[in-house]
């Protein structure tokens, strides 16, 4: 049962109103929000075991509770600490601001039943509410705008009914939503997103499930990363068992090409063919590195168009470098290096992603690539995609490459670097299709298969540049002497041009040594961010390496 009490202007509410102002303009002190998870309008805090299923159009704000001495004095009568604040939400449609606090109550105060209480200050349109289950209590402060909602008490009562203590609504929470919320499209913190995904209050199905896919995606953008390495070892294990001995048996064949010979063979293919399609696994920086190294070979053989899956050209054409607005794939440093080199070599870079939600994605992609040929019939195009989009023949469905072949009359040469994993002495091994016609291990119609064991390194990106040891110092690093932090290195010219849209040339994990973090960089000027797994930036400055 909900008890509602109405009072005039009271001492406790005049001070609680002041609390609203203090909270809204201060920095974070509470640690409770670190375990907040969101899916659109559903909220859950894993450590507190509190779930709230809000109405639509709720916006969650960053929790901030500074000026702690003032808070303690103001809230002393209500026994609420600023560190008890775990959630701030707005419902602009209703004209409502809501602040949620959490407390464990003494055993003497335990009520065996769910208890709900609402206390209202009708003059100031402010409500203070409580909901308790056992030792757990959620307290809230609601500020309403009566001009927008004539029945604020109904809103508050309804809200209380939607607060669930010790209950997670699994149908409202997903790894997809956690990824989307914590890995934004502009300058995300992959270390923070990784922690949120890894510690999410959801069961993993195992294998290549949503948790694995999103964890692998966010961790692929951070080098020196033990978690990423362990995920990939598990991901490749079965395929290596299937292919290791086969690749050894084929390694001495005359038409199996290794390392530099791979580029020589593709050069021969490029001379005679108008379209080459290469696929990638979206978790692999090494796949982007191979695509980048292939660009010079293709350019020398008349290729001047690069068409990318999931790539957006921004409306602001002043950017001559990749940026976060280009799409989710470009935020991985080696994908960005791939695009930088294509631009530097004079490729026309475009995206062929289908944006017609009502149409077939594969057909839409094929038609978008066709637009290049409509403008330039003799164009030689390098098409870069994920996984199965290169399939020209598949019993279950038609993929982009098959539609493109039908529309253009051009038989694209397809190279698959996602199917075969094997432990080889060579970095690259290229095998023709004929060696896999009679095996069930390969389910792809590709013309060639690449075993890619490249090891991404910034020294491959800058082969003729001097690297110097660099040290950055900050007292805050000492707080993380036993914990990894994320270091992002951004070319200064790009940062100066695009600020937070600029993509790092390198992102890596490291444990600080006291007040210092050291690493190697090419001679030059950079902007450096150091971030933590609770989404705090503890270093933000320019550095010069000379």
CATH number of the domain at 55, please: 3.40.1000
Whether residues 417 and 357 fall in one domain: yes
Asked if the structure places residue 414 within a domain, the reply is: yes
Whether residues 296 and 411 fall in one domain: yes
Asked if the structure places residue 235 within a domain, the reply is: no
Whether residues 24 and 151 fall in one domain: yes
Whether residues 201 and 179 fall in one domain: yes
Whether residues 413 and 283 fall in one domain: yes
* Structure tokens, 211: 């948790």
Measured between its terminal Cα atoms, the distance across the chain in Å is 70
C-alpha to C-alpha distance for 313 and 329, rounded to whole angstroms: 13
Asked if the structure places residue 108 within a domain, the reply is: yes
Residue 329 has pLDDT above 80, yes or no: yes
Whether residues 495 and 386 fall in one domain: no
Between the alpha carbon of residue 145 and those of residues 7, 12, 24, the distances in Å are 18, 20, 17
pLDDT in tens, 448-504: 999 999 999 999 999 999 999 999 999 999 999 899 999 999 999 999 999 999 999
Domain with 505 in it: 459-545
- In 3D space, the residue among 280, 279, 273, 342 whose CA is nearest the CA of residue 306 turns out to be 342
Helix, strand, or coil (residue 95): coil
Average pLDDT, the chain: 87
Residue 505 has pLDDT above 80, yes or no: yes
pLDDT recorded at residue 2: 41
Whether residues 310 and 193 fall in one domain: no
Residue 19 has pLDDT above 60, yes or no: no
Asked if the structure places residue 272 within a domain, the reply is: yes
C-alpha to C-alpha distance for 283 and 228, rounded to whole angstroms: 9
Whether residues 211 and 286 fall in one domain: no
Helix, strand, or coil (residue 422): coil
pLDDT recorded at residue 501: 94
- Domains held by the chain: number: 4
pLDDT in tens, 192-237: 999 999 999 898 888 889 999 999 999 999 999 999 999 999 999 9
Residue 1 has pLDDT above 50, yes or no: no
Q: Which residue has the tokens 């559903």?
A: 42
Whether residues 316 and 409 fall in one domain: yes
**Could you give the angle at which helices 190-198 and 210-219 cross, rounded to 10 degrees?**
160
Around 534, how many Cα atoms within 13 Å sit in the side-chain half-sphere?
14
pLDDT recorded at residue 116: 67
**Residue 54 or residue 272, greater confidence:** 272
pLDDT recorded at residue 111: 61
pLDDT in tens, 330-381: 999 999 999 999 999 999 999 999 988 888 999 999 999 999 999 999 999 9
Beta-carbon contacts of 526 under 8 Å, excluding residues fewer than 6 positions away, are: 489, 490, 491, 492, 495, 505, 542, 543, 544, 545
Whether residues 383 and 286 fall in one domain: yes
Residue 3 has pLDDT above 60, yes or no: no
Residue 7 has pLDDT above 60, yes or no: no
Ramachandran region of residue 107, left (φ > 0), alpha (ψ -120 to 50) or beta? alpha
Q: What share of the chain is helix, strand, coil (3-state, %, to 5)?
A: 35, 30, 35
């Amino acid at each position: 049962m909900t008890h509602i009490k109405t009072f005039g202007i009271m001492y406790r509410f005049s001070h609680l109103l002041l609390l609203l102002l203090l909270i809204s303009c201060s920095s974070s002190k509470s640690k409770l929000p670190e375990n907040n998870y969101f899916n659109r309008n559903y909220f859950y805090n894993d450590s507190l075991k509190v779930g709230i299923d809000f109405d639509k159009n709720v916006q969650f704000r960053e929790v901030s509770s500074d000026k702690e001495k003032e808070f303690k004095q103001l809230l002393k009568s209500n026994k609420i600490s600023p560190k008890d604040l775990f959630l701030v939400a707005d419902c602009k449609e209703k004209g409502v601001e809501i602040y949620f606090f959490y407390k464990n109550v003494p055993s003497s105060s335990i009520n065996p039943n769910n208890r709900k209480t609402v206390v209202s200050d009708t003059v100031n349109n402010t409500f203070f509410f409580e909901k308790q289950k056992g030792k757990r209590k959620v307290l809230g402060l609601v500020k309403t705008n009566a001009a927008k909602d004539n029945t604020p008490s109904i809103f508050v009562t309804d809200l209380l009914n939607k607060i669930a203590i010790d209950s997670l609504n699994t149908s409202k929470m997903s790894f997809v939503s956690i990824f989307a919320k914590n890995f934004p499209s502009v300058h995300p913190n992959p270390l923070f997103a990784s922690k949120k995904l890894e510690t999410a209050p959801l069961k993993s199905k195992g294998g290549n499930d949503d948790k694995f896919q999103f964890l692998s995606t966010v961790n692929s953008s951070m080098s020196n990363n033990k978690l990423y390495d362990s995920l990939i070892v598990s991901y490749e294990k079965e395929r290596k068992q299937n292919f290791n001995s086969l690749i050894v048996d084929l390694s001495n064949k005359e038409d199996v090409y290794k390392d530099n010979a791979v580029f020589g063979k593709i050069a021969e293919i490029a001379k005679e063919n108008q379209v080459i399609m290469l696929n990638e696994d979206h978790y692999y920086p090494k796949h982007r590195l191979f695509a980048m190294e292939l660009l010079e070979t293709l350019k020398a053989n008349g290729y001047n168009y690069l068409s990318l899956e999931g790539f957006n050209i921004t409306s602001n054409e002043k950017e001559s470098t990749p940026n976060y607005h280009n799409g989710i794939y470009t935020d991985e440093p080696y994908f960005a290096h791939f695009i930088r080199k294509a631009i530097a070599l004079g490729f026309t870079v475009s995206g062929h992603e289908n944006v017609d939600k009502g149409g077939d994605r594969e057909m839409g992609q094929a038609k978008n690539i066709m637009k290049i040929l409509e403008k330039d019939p003799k164009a030689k195009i390098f098409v870069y995609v994920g996984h199965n989009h290169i399939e020209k023949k598949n019993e279950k469905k038609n993929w982009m490459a098959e539609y493109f072949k039908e529309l253009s009359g051009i038989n694209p040469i397809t190279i698959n670097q996602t199917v075969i994993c094997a432990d080889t002495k060579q970095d690259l091994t290229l095998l023709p299709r004929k060696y896999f016609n009679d095996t069930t291990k390969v389910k792809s119609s590709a013309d060639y298969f690449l075993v890619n064991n490249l090891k991404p390194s910034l020294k491959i990106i800058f082969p003729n540049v001097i690297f110097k040891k660099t040290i950055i110092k900050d007292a805050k690093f000492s707080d993380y002497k036993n914990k990894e932090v994320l270091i992002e290195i951004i070319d200064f010219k790009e940062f100066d041009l695009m600020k937070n849209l600029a993509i790092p040339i390198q992102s890596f994990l490291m444990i600080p040594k006291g007040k210092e973090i050291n690493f190697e960089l090419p001679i030059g000027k950079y902007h450096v961010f150091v971030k933590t797994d609770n989404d705090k930036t503890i270093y933000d400055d320019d550095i010069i390496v000379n």
